[in-house]
A and B are shown apart, each in its own frame.
Chain A
Amino acid sequence: GAGVSQTPSNKVTEKGKYVELRCDPISGHTALYWYRQSLGQGPEFLIYFQGTGAADDSGLPNDRFFAVRPEGSVSTLKIQRTERGDSAVYLCASSLKGGAHETQYFGPGTRLLVL
């Protein structure tokens, strides 16, 4: 079946602009995760959804970052007033129910460049 998909694959924006990044999880997966990967680093956790609700948003760096998953499937990560330091690859992952003993399946990522 289809894996996790993310759009766009690349996004170039200017400092101060607003961006939205989209994630389509594997069908039937209730758990969805967002990670951010900066150059030379491993992925860093941002937020975890269980169904429609954000069960853990402790990784969001500040209030410019926000994510939604209104119908429990597609999720959108929203970044306001982008800064050059937000440039990174944003990864989405999903798993069947979430929690221990589950495999997280990753999407290809969205490469964000803030000029």
Chain B
Amino acid sequence: AQRVTQPEKLLSVFKGAPVELKCNYSYSGSPELFWYVQYSRQRLQLLLRHISRESIKGFTADLNKGETSFHLKKPFAQEEDSAMYYCALLNQAGTALIFGKGTTLSVSS
């Protein structure tokens, strides 16, 4: 079965603290994974994808096939990072994204 699990509904941190948003997946083969973000009153947008191995807005995510995880990390959270974050997996047919339920990140000063 292809599935994405985000175990935390809400993560609250203080500004400057490290952030880790958890994502686990179930997939046969080599997955293609993404993090999407939705800021307040904005549309869903791509934050990063594992295949690019890039860092966007200070966020990184490493694919760990042994643990079937793709956790999103940032060393120092900023208030503008407050948003809803979705982990997503491209299905095996390559036709659709499978999303987790999302984690709300709240960064306060």
A contacts, CB < 8 Å to B: 3-4, 33, 35, 40-45, 48, 55-56, 59, 91, 98-101, 103-109
Contacts and interface: CB of A to CB of B under 8 A. Distances in A.
Interface in B48-107: 49, 51, 86, 88, 90-91, 93-102
Nearest to B93: A56
Given A42-B101, A42-B102, A106-B45, A100 B95 contact: no
Contact of B96 (A3, A41, A59, A106): A59
Interface residues of B, number: 24
Q: Is the interface of A mostly helix, strand, loop or mixed?
A: loop
Given A40-B101, A42-B102, A101-B51, A48 B43 contact: no
A107 B97 contact: no
Interface of B: 4, 6, 32, 36, 43-46, 49, 51, 86, 88, 90-91, 93-102
A43 B93 contact: no
B43 A100 contact: no
A40 B101 CA distance: 7
A44 B95 contact: no
Most buried by B among A33, A56, A106: A106
10 contacts: A35-B99, A40-B101, A43-B44, A43-B86, A55-B95, A98-B94, A100-B32, A101-B51, A103-B46, A109-B43
B96 A56 contact: yes
Nearest to B84: A42
A106 B44 CA distance: 6
A55 B100 CA distance: 23
A103 B96 CA distance: 11
